[in-house]
A and B are shown apart, each in its own frame.
Chain A
Amino acid sequence: MKELTYREALREALREEMKRDESVFLLGEDIAEYGSSYKVPQGLVDEFGHERVRNTPLAEAGIIGATLGAALVGMRPVAEIMYIDFSPIAMDQIFNQIAKFRYMTGGTVKVPLVIRTQGGGGVSAGLHHSQSLEALYTHMPGLMVVMPSIPYDAKGLLKSSIREDNPVMFIEHKGLYGQSGMIPEEEYLVPLGKAEVKCEGKDITVVAYSKSLVLALQAAETLEKEGISLEVVDPRTLLPLDEDTILDSVKKTSRLMVVHEACKTGGFGGEVAAIVAEKAIDYLDAPIKRVTALDSPIPFNPRLEDYIIPNEGDIIAGARELMGKEVSAR
């Protein structure tokens, strides 16, 4: 085992897959010498050259269109959209072209591509560099949506995404790049569409992903001391969702909390809640709790941003509420 950051784990996945398969190449804004804003592809241009680590014009629809076109003729492009906030500029290419292409061909054409991007707040990056927009993409049949929370998953899921024959939105979190974790020396994959129980418990099932998963694990440690036991489930892939792992856990704990950094209304938490309500409502001993950002743009002011985005304390308060110990503010 070795210790790598989330950023290094992602870079290692890119490097390994580029070595393994010469049809894999990267394209995006400022990804070559500059290494992009969060430095995931840094240094790869030295190893693979500008042909396979391609700086593009600042043109998101152009990037995503080029990604689709190249994928249709035998390449395995990995595009980078520097911030998920910029992805709506390419929305037509993602929604109308990529997500529908296979279906449009009567299921005869494969669309093997990855769109790497990152979201999330916490660094006063303001309204256009802080959003959590995954629910836009989970609402689009034809896409897969992957959101890794720890370095081990980041590497294994990215490798699987690059080998996947369907289009993958791979959403990283800017607040996780510096987090470290243990990674095997040898090669491994993490399968898409499989959730993982990151922490076993008996009182409350907490479904959380990306940075919220890390917060949920911290909350689980704190709550353990006061006798509340969280079972933390990381879906890892939101689309398609591993419903069984979530339902099995809820049947065991009889309580459900969903945590995410995206705002509440229309958020993915509503989907998880609906699935549990449809398929396991008889097992529930308490109302379903969603701990999410407030329905607001992300403000620049650090105090306001902290207030809008859910933190460990909000998860703890929500858990106490589910156990009938207090009423949380959210």
Chain B
Amino acid sequence: MSKIGKEKLKEIYIIMLRIRAFEERAIVEYHKGIPGFIHSSIGEEAIPAAVGAFLRGDDYLLTTHRGHGDIIAKGARFDKMMAELFAKETGYCKGRGGSMHIVATDRNMLGATAIVGAGLPIASGVALGCKMQKLDRVTVCFFGDGATCTGAFHEALCFASVWDLPVVFVCANNLYSLSTPQKVYTKLEHISDRAKAYGIPGVTVDGNDVAAVAEVASEAIERARKGGGPTFIEGMTYRIYGHHMGDPGTSYRTKEEVEDWKKKDPIARLQSRLLKAKVITKSDIEEIQADVNRELDEAVKFAAESPEPKIEDALSGIYYTAR
């Protein structure tokens, strides 16, 4: 099928199904009244799934406010994620973080940040810490195309490149910085061209083609692990929903454009490939989906039934106190 083996593609496919199912359920629960904002990544699943499939448990990952998919791709638990969305004490951040700020230390997932671009300098630092301790761990930092205009992006890549840090910068280019199209904020056709400015490899791939993402991701992760330094990957993709669930996403995009991108759905694409190649059967798919849905039902039940943080604990966790 490609350089990426059938079993790997199946593994990535399952991760994508998990992300899609979680995102769809999060939207349902949001409309039922969970607090705050939800930034859906539906349509963008191929990138985190194809990258995550090549990461080890002890590798590190950082992401953004649109990070559910990235966090799931790193193996985070549905129940603790859903409880966090429900603002419950049993959530990954004990209800202090919410959808935009999940930190899953059990999976070396070191945080989603809601400040666009802010994760990149931290990712360079995580990679520096690993390198100094001679740990062969790779750090992956996910961000959107809007982040590539921030100063933090530039500063982080300066550090990562001159110190040959084991970090992979993965940009999910969904063509809009919120509502602002790429041509309004950069003259570049390919944002990955920015990599040249740092003397590191940069590559643009079809971010809805799992095999294409997997090839560049596996190569970049291996290069980082072997001491070859950072890579910048740009995956071209599309966010099917609006910026967040309060934005229909229609004031700056045409219906035709959205419908066109729906036809390029990364899950449907891989699924038909896998079915055609007989890597997977329809009944396999039904079974996987049933398992995922069961896990989500349990996660929602767990979240709904979990206690809220206690008011008397509102100030706990600001400082570490051994004193």
Question: Cβ of A104 and Cβ of B121 under 8 Å apart?
Answer: no
Question: Cβ of A73 and Cβ of B126 under 8 Å apart?
Answer: yes
* Bound: A47/B96 CA distance, A: 43
Contact with B along A166-200 (1 / 0, CB 8 A): 10000000000000000000000000010000000
Contacting residue for B118 out of A93, A107, A110, A240, CB 8 A:
A93
Chain B 104-125 interface residues, beta-carbon cutoff 8 Å to A: 105, 110-111, 113, 115, 118, 120-125
Contact with A along B119-143 (1 / 0, CB 8 A): 0111111111110110100010000
Chain B 143-178 interface residues, beta-carbon cutoff 8 Å to A: 151-152, 154-156, 158-159, 162
Contacting residue for A73 out of B97, B129, B159, B320, CB 8 A:
B129
Contacts of A142 in B (CB 8 A): 318-319
Q: Is there a chain B Cβ closer than 8 Å to A141's Cβ?
A: yes
Question: Cβ of B318 and Cβ of A62 under 8 Å apart?
Answer: no
Contacting residue for B156 out of A65, A74, A101, CB 8 A:
A65
Query: Smallest CB–CB gap between A128 and chain B, Å?
Result: 18
Chain A 59-77 interface residues, beta-carbon cutoff 8 Å to B: 59-62, 64-75, 77
Question: Cβ of B162 and Cβ of A61 under 8 Å apart?
Answer: no
Q: Is there a chain A Cβ closer than 8 Å to B94's Cβ?
A: yes
Contacts of A240 in B (CB 8 A): 319
Q: Is there a chain A Cβ closer than 8 Å to B93's Cβ?
A: yes
Question: Cβ of A106 and Cβ of B94 under 8 Å apart?
Answer: yes
Using A62-B159, A97-B113, A101-B111 as known contacts, say yes or no to A69 and B319 having CB atoms under 8 A apart: no
Determine the residue in chain A with the shortest Cβ distance to B116. Answer: A92
Question: Cβ of B121 and Cβ of A93 under 8 Å apart?
Answer: yes
Using A57-B159, A70-B132, A96-B118 as known contacts, say yes or no to A65 and B97 having CB atoms under 8 A apart: no
Question: Cβ of A57 and Cβ of B155 under 8 Å apart?
Answer: yes
Question: Cβ of A69 and Cβ of B125 under 8 Å apart?
Answer: yes
Using A70-B128, A104-B93 as known contacts, say yes or no to A62 and B158 having CB atoms under 8 A apart: yes
* Bound: A110/B97 CA distance, A: 16
Using A65-B121, A69-B126 as known contacts, say yes or no to A106 and B319 having CB atoms under 8 A apart: no
* Bound: A166/B101 CA distance, A: 20
Query: Smallest CB–CB gap between B320 and chain A, Å?
Result: 4
Contacting residue for A57 out of B133, B158, B319, CB 8 A:
B158
Question: Cβ of A106 and Cβ of B118 under 8 Å apart?
Answer: no
* Bound: A29/B320 CA distance, A: 29
Contacts of B91 in A (CB 8 A): 106
* Bound: A57/B162 CA distance, A: 9
Using A70-B125, A72-B129 as known contacts, say yes or no to A105 and B162 having CB atoms under 8 A apart: no
Contacts of A60 in B (CB 8 A): 155
* Bound: A108/B132 CA distance, A: 24
* Bound: A195/B19 CA distance, A: 52
* Bound: A107/B314 CA distance, A: 11
Query: Smallest CB–CB gap between A60 and chain B, Å?
Result: 8
Question: Cβ of B316 and Cβ of A96 under 8 Å apart?
Answer: no
* Bound: A74/B126 CA distance, A: 9
Contacting residue for B97 out of A56, A74, A104, CB 8 A:
A104
Contacts of A72 in B (CB 8 A): 110, 122, 125-126, 129
Question: Cβ of A59 and Cβ of B93 under 8 Å apart?
Answer: no
Question: Cβ of A65 and Cβ of B120 under 8 Å apart?
Answer: yes
* Bound: A74/B132 CA distance, A: 10
Question: Cβ of B97 and Cβ of A62 under 8 Å apart?
Answer: no
Using A59-B158, A104-B111 as known contacts, say yes or no to A69 and B133 having CB atoms under 8 A apart: no
Most buried by B among A73, A102, A193, A240: A73
Residues of A within 8 A of B (CB): 25, 51, 56-57, 59-62, 64-75, 77, 92-93, 96-97, 101-111, 141-142, 144, 165-166, 193, 240
Task: Pick 27 A–B contacts, CB within 8 A, sort by A.
Answer: A60-B155, A61-B155, A62-B155, A62-B159, A65-B122, A67-B125, A68-B122, A69-B123, A69-B124, A69-B126, A71-B129, A72-B129, A73-B60, A75-B129, A96-B115, A97-B122, A102-B318, A103-B96, A103-B317, A105-B97, A105-B103, A105-B111, A106-B92, A106-B97, A107-B316, A108-B105, A166-B319
11 extra A-B contacts, CB within 8 A, seeds A68-B122, A96-B118: A61-B152, A66-B121, A66-B125, A67-B125, A69-B124, A69-B128, A71-B125, A72-B126, A106-B96, A109-B105, A165-B322
Sorted nearest first, the 5 A-B pairs with minimum C-beta distance are A69-B125, A65-B121, A107-B317, A106-B94, A62-B155
